[in-house]
Amino acid sequence: MPTVVLMDASLSMTRPVSLEQCSEELQRKNLAVAGLTMLFEHMANNYRLEFTSLVAFSSLWELLVPFTRDYNTLQEALNNLEDYDKTCLESALHGVSNVVQQEWGHACPTQVVLVTDGSLGIGKGSLRHSLQTLKGRPEDKKFPLPFPFPAKLFVMCIANAEELQMTDTMHNLEQLLQLNGGDGQIFTMEGQLCLKSVQMFTQIMLIDLYPDFPAVLRCGNLASDVQVFPRPEPVFLDEEIDPMPRHILTDLEIVGFIEIGDISSPPVMSRHLVLPIAVNKEVDDVGPGTTEEPEEETSANQQAGKVPNFCVLLHGSLKVEGMVALVQLGPEWYGMLYSQADSKKKSNLMMSLFEPGPEPLPWLGKVSQLGPISDAAENPYGEDDSKSPFPLQPKIKRSYAQNVTVWIKASGLQTDVQKILRNARKLPEKTQTFYKELNRLRKAALAFGFWELLKGVAELLERECTLLPDTAHPDAAFQLSHAAKQLKLASTGDSQYAAFDQNINPMHTDFSGGGAGM
Amino acid sequence: MKMFSVSHKTAFVVDHCPYMAESCRQQVECDVLTKSRGQGMIPLAPVSKSLWTCAVECSMEYCRILYDVYPLKKLLMSALAAVGPPNPQEDPECCSVLHGLVAAVESLCKITEYQHEARTTLMDTADRVANRGRIICLTNAKSDTHVRMLEDCVQETILEQNKMAAGSDRLMPIQQCELVLVHIFPQGEDTLVSDRPKKEVSSLLTSEVHSVRAGRHLATKLNILVQQHFDLASTTITNIPMKEEQHANTSANYDVELLHHRDAHLEFFKSGDLHMAGSTSRDSGLKETVTLKWCTPRTNSVELHYCTGAYRISPTDVNSRPSSCLTNFLLNGRSVLLEQPRKSGSKVISHMLSSHGGEIFLHVLNSTRSTLEDPPSISEGCGGRVTDYRITDFGEFMRENRLTPVPESPDTEASGKPPAERAKAQLERYTRYWPMIISQTTIFNMQAVVPLANLIVKESLSEEDLLTCQKTVYNLVDMERKNDPLPISTVGSRGKGPKRDEQYRIMWNELETLVKTHVAGSERHQRVLDCIIACRSKPPEEEERKKRGRKREDKEDKAEKSINKDSEDKSWQESERLKGVVERVKEEQGESEVIKDSPDSPEPLNKKPRLEEIQLPEKAKGPVSLLTMWTNRITVANSRKHQEFAGRISSVNNKAELYQHLKDENGMDLHENGKATR
C-alpha cells in the first residue's frame, strides 16, 4: 500500500543529541534521516512496487516528492531537506489527506509515517491546541482525522518514551491514533539517542510497516508459492454482529473455473497481484516480491525463471480461454484469479477479493452450491458450449421486469385506460387482451380502494358502445355492455362482485363461438 | 448499514377511519380524447382519488422501490387493512388507527427469520442481535395533541410488549423504534398538524411528524422517506437516445432517474464534488440527483471491468416510456457505460449499468490511479522463461472444471460434501498426475491415450468406461507392435533421443504412473492398472536385453514422476534391484496370463487372488501409497521363492515372540518382559 512520509522540518528537529561516546555532533534530524534512509533502502531492495511520497512540514507543508517507486529521488529530497519554523501538525495532515485523495481516491488503503521529535508545537496550531478544540468546529474546518480513506498512522518519534511522557506528547499522539480509528502505532527510541538505536528501531518498524504475505496457490495437487501484493488487509463485516476482523488464508485454494462473460464484471473489494516466488532455501536474502534483483543474484533468478511454475501455466490458460478461477480465501469468503493485461505485451495474474459472505454475487448464487459440471445430469454449458447456467434468475421479478400498475402520475392511469379503449374498439378480435387489461385495472382499483375509477371506466365503455359504427360486429356491443355492467357492480363494493381474486370473464354469446371462450 | 438497524423491519399502518374516504381533491382526467375522435363529444367527468387510495398507492410505491433495491434481508409488514376503502358512515371509534399501531408494535416484536438465524449461529454472542424497527403511519390526525396521543400509545405498547417478549422465544424486546407519522390532508385545506423533525420520546422511541397534502405531494414525500430510511441516492441518466414512437427514424434524448444504494456515489460524497459531478436539485430543492451521461454502448461482455461496487436499482417512474425503454434495453443483456461530466471537459467513465439475470445493477467503476500500475510481466518472474507450458491442455482442463449451480436439496446435504467441496475434490483427482510442460510428458501428447486419460480421473468408472480404458491400452499395444513413432520430447537429450522400444517403455511407465494415482478410487480403476501391467510385459529375452542398459535412466525417470517422491527415492535402490526379480516371476507366470487383445477375452485366472494378496494389509486405511503397493507386490513375489522363515509362520500380527524356550524355563516374569520389549 502507498506510504506517505510526513517529515517534521521544524527547528526543534535540529536540537543536538547529547552524546558522550560520540565526538561528532548529531541533530535529531540526522537520526531521522538515517532511519528513513534505511527504510528507503529496504523498500528499494524488497518492495519495488510500493509507492512512497515525501511531505515536509513546519507551519506550512510541502509535497517534496509525489508518489514514486524511485527511491533515489526520495533519498535526494531527504538529504536536501532544509530547516523551517515551528511544528503545526493539523495543516500538514490536511495536506497529506489532499495528496492521497488526489492520487488514489478514497478506497485505497494508505499508510502515513509521521517523523517527528515529539515536540508538537505550542499555542495555536499545536497538536495540543487542535485536540482541545476538536468539538464544535464548523463543517469546513474539521480536523483531518479520521482520513477519508482507510489509513494506518505510524509515528516515528526521534525521542525516547520517558522524554515524551514527561510532557503530554505521548498522550496527544495516542489521541491522534484513536482519532484515526486506532489503526497504527507509535514507535519511540530505546535508551540513548544514537545511530545504533535508530537502526534498531527502524528494523522493528519495518516489520510492522511492510509485513510479508507469503501464500500458496493451489489447484488440486498443482501448487505454487506466491506473494500477494499489496498485502490483503483484514476486513470487518457488520461491526455489531461480527466485530472480529477477517483475514484471508495463506492457502488459496481454487474451487473451479467460470467464464468471464458469466462472472461479468463483479464488484470487488480490492485487487492484488499474484507473483510466483521461488522458495529458495540456499539464497535467504531473496526478498519476496523482488522483481529486479541486484546483479549477483541474477543467476538464481534465471534459474527460477526456467523452472515450470503453476502460476504461469494458469495465467496463460486463463488468458487464452477468457476465464477466471474462483478461489477460496477463507470460510465463506471467495475471490477470483484472472489475467490482467497492463499493455499489449505485459500481463499478469491478478486476484480480486469479493465481499466476504456466502453469496457475494447474486447472479452466481451461493458459492458453496457451485459444483462440478460432472454432477449435473447433462452438461449445463451444452455439448457445444452454446449455453450457460449463469446468470441465476431471482425468484421474484423486479418491478421493472414485470407489468406493474402505478397510478401516482396521472399519465400512468391514462395509459392504462387508453389501452382498454384501444382494445375495445377492436372487439371481438381483441377480446382476450381487452379482458386481460380490464381485469388488471379492476384488480388495481380494488386494491387501491379506487372505486370511483371503476365507475368512470364503466361509463367510458358504455359510451364506446353507443359510438360503435354500424359495421361493427354485434359481439362487440354485447361484450362492452357486459364489461361495463360488471365494473359498475364491482364499484359498489359488494363482496359478491368486488372480490379481489375474481376476474371478469368474457360474455358467452352466439357470435363469439369458441374463439372468445374461456 | 448494520444488518439489524431500524431498517430491518418496517411496519406500515394506514389509517382506515371514515375520514380517509374523503376525496383528495386532485382530479385525474381519465378520458383523454384524441384529436381524430371526440369532436363535439363531452368528455366524462374526471375522477379523484380518496385519501385512502393515495395513502395505499404511495405505500405500495415505497415497497416497490424497496423490494427492487433490497430483495433480501429487509422486511416490511404492510398492515393494509382488509382491502377496500373506508366506509364514511362507520363509527370512527371502531376503526381507530390505534389498533393498527398496536398491531404494528406486536409485529415488530416477532423475531424474524434472519434474526433467528443470526442468533442461532452466534450462540454465545446472541445478544449482539438487536431488534429495531420502524413504523410508518399514514393517517389524518386531528391536532398536535392527537399526534402526542398516538406517540404515547406506541410508547406504552412497546413497554407492554417488551415485558411479554422477555419471556418468549419467538418474541424479542424492541430496543429501538422509529415512528414516522405522516399526516395527510386534502388539497385546499389547511393543515392542523405541524411538521416536526425527529425527536426522542424515550430511549426506546423516536418520533417525527410530516404533514403532507395528499396526491403527488404525498408520493414525493414517501419517495424522499424511502431514500432516507434505506440509504438510497438518485442518479439521473441523461442523453439516452431513443427512437420516437411516432417517427421511427428520428431519435431524441431522454433522461431517466434511478434510485439505488447511496454508496454508488461514495466517491462523489467523499471528494465533496457532488455538485461538480452534475448534481442538480429538482422539485424545488427537495431532491438531489447525480447526473451521469449515457455513453453509446460498445458491446463487449468479455471485458472484465475493475468494479468496486454493484448496487441494485429501481427506476423512480417505472412505467414511463423512457424508463421502460432503458430497463428493457438492459434486460436484453446489454451494458451501458456512464460518464461523469467534469468541469474540465475531460471524460471519465465512472459507472456502468448492466443486468444479471433479470436484475439491473449500477456498477461503480474505479476511476482513480491504481497502485498496481506497471507491474512486472509474468514472463519476467518465476517460470516465466519456460515456453512449452501445456496451455491448451490446461484450458481444456479448466473447461471440464467449470462450475455450475447445484440446486439445494436435502439429498445433497445428506450425501455429505457441499458442491463446492466436491468441485475441489474433482480438481484434486484431475491433478494427481498433471505434468505442466509438454517436454515432461509423452502420454498427454498422444491422441491415442486421450480416452483413458479422460476416464481414469473420474470418481467411479462404469463397466463401459473400463472397456474403453482397456481398449485404449490394447490400442497402445498395437501401436507398439507396429512400431509407430511416439511424440517423445528430444529436449535435453543428445542425438536422436531414445530408441523406439525405449520410448515405449517411457510411455508405459508414465501411463502406469498416471493410473496408479487413481488405483485407490475403485476396483475398476485397479483393473485398468492390471490391464496395463499385463499388457506391457515383454518376451523374456527382449526384456533381459533392455534391462541392462536402462537401469540408471529408469530410476531418474520414475522418481521424477512419482507422486510420493521422497519415500520412492529412498526405497528405489532396493526396489529396483527387486524389480528384476519380480519381472522374472511375472514372466514365468506370463504363460498363463495371456495378453488380451480383445475386450471380450476372459479375465486371467490367477489375477484375482494375486490382487487380494497385495492389497491385504493397507486396504482398510484408505489410499495405498505407491511404495506400499510395490513393497507388498515384491514381498508376495519373494515369498514364493524361498522357504518361509519359521518365526514368520508362527507369528501373530506379523510379530513373533523371541526366545520362547526361555519362557518355559523361567516362568511368567520373563514372559512379561518379553512382551514389553516388542
How many angstroms separate the CA of residue B323 from the nearest CA in chain A?
A: 8
Amino acid identity, position B62 = Y
Measured CA to CA, the distance from residue A290 to residue A274 in angstroms comes to 12
How many angstroms separate the CA of residue B172 from the nearest CA in chain A?
A: 16
CB contact under 8 A, A400 and B401: no
Question: Counting every residue, how long is chain B?
Answer: 678
Query: Vertex B625, ends B623 and B627: CA angle to 5°?
Result: 160
Mean pLDDT value across residues A220-241: 82
Question: Counting every residue, how long is chain A?
Answer: 518
Those residues whose C-beta lies under 8 Å from the C-beta of residue B550, and which sit 6 or more positions away, are B502, B505
Q: Which three cell numbers stand for residue B92?
A: 370512527
Residue B337 · residue B349 · CB < 8 Å = yes
Indicate the pairing of strand A151-160 with strand A52-57. unpaired
Picking from B47, B49, B307, the nearest residue to A266 by CB comes out as B307
Measured CA to CA, the distance from residue B254 to residue B289 in angstroms comes to 16
Interface residue A124 vs chain B (CB under 8 A): no
| B332 chain-A contacts, CB cut-off 8 A | none
Q: Tens of pLDDT along A321-370?
A: 989 999 999 888 999 999 988 766 788 899 999 998 888 898 888 888 88
| A457 chain-B contacts, CB cut-off 8 A | 30
Least confident segment among A260-264, B210-214, B283-287: B283-287
Per-residue pLDDT band at B568 (split at 50, 70, 90) = very low
Q: Tens of pLDDT along B500-534?
A: 778 888 888 889 899 988 888 788 888 888 888 88
Q: Is residue B62 packed enough to be buried (19+ CB in 10 Å), middle (13-18) or exposed (0-12)?
A: buried
How many angstroms separate the CA of residue B194 from the nearest CA in chain A?
A: 25
pLDDT higher at B90 or A420: A420
pLDDT at A293 over 60: no
Measured CA to CA, the distance from residue B248 to residue B254 in angstroms comes to 15
Residue B240 CA neighbour count, 13 Å, CB half: 24
3-state secondary structure string, A397-419?
CCHHHCCCCCCCCHHHHHHHHHH
Measured CA to CA, the distance from residue A15 to residue A30 in angstroms comes to 10
Q: Is residue A250 packed enough to be buried (19+ CB in 10 Å), middle (13-18) or exposed (0-12)?
A: exposed
Mean pLDDT value across residues B395-402: 92
CB contact under 8 A, A220 and B67: no
Measured CA to CA, the distance from residue A136 to residue A130 in angstroms comes to 12
CB contact under 8 A, B394 and A313: yes
pLDDT score, position B665:
60
CB contact under 8 A, A108 and B56: no
Q: Tens of pLDDT along B624-635?
A: 677 888 888 888
DSSP bridge pairs for B359? B356
pLDDT score, position A301:
63
Per-residue pLDDT band at A425 (split at 50, 70, 90) = confident
Measured CA to CA, the distance from residue B267 to residue B357 in angstroms comes to 27
DSSP string, B82-109: SSSPPPTTS-TTTT-HHHHHHHHHHHHH
Nearest CA in chain B to A490: B84
Give this complex's ipTM.
0.82
Picking from B2, B324, B382, the nearest residue to A240 by CB comes out as B2
CB contact under 8 A, B371 and A230: yes
Interface residue A372 vs chain B (CB under 8 A): yes
Q: Which three cell numbers stand for residue A385?
A: 458450449
Rounded to the nearest integer, the mean pLDDT of chain A is 81
Q: Tens of pLDDT along B418-465?
A: 888 889 999 999 999 999 988 888 888 888 888 888 888 888 888 898
Say what the pTM is: 0.77
Those residues whose C-beta lies under 8 Å from the C-beta of residue A113, and which sit 6 or more positions away, are A3, A4, A5, A6, A39, A154, A155, A156, A209
pLDDT higher at A453 or B100: A453
The answer for A 455-474 residues in CB contact with B (under 8 A) is 455-457, 459-460, 463
- The verdict on whether omega for the bond into residue A391 sits within 30 degrees of 0, i.e. cis, is yes
DSSP bridge pairs for A215? A226
Per-residue pLDDT band at B27 (split at 50, 70, 90) = confident
Q: Is residue A93 classed as helix, strand or coil in its secondary structure? A: helix
Q: Tens of pLDDT along B38-70?
A: 555 666 777 888 888 888 888 888 888 888 888
Per-residue pLDDT band at B603 (split at 50, 70, 90) = very low
Picking from B83, B372, B404, the nearest residue to A371 by CB comes out as B404
Measured CA to CA, the distance from residue A200 to residue A159 in angstroms comes to 14
How many angstroms separate the CA of residue B634 from the nearest CA in chain A?
A: 28
Within B283-384, where are the H helices? 321-331
How many angstroms separate the CA of residue A77 from the nearest CA in chain B?
A: 22
Q: Which three cell numbers stand for residue A514?
A: 369458441
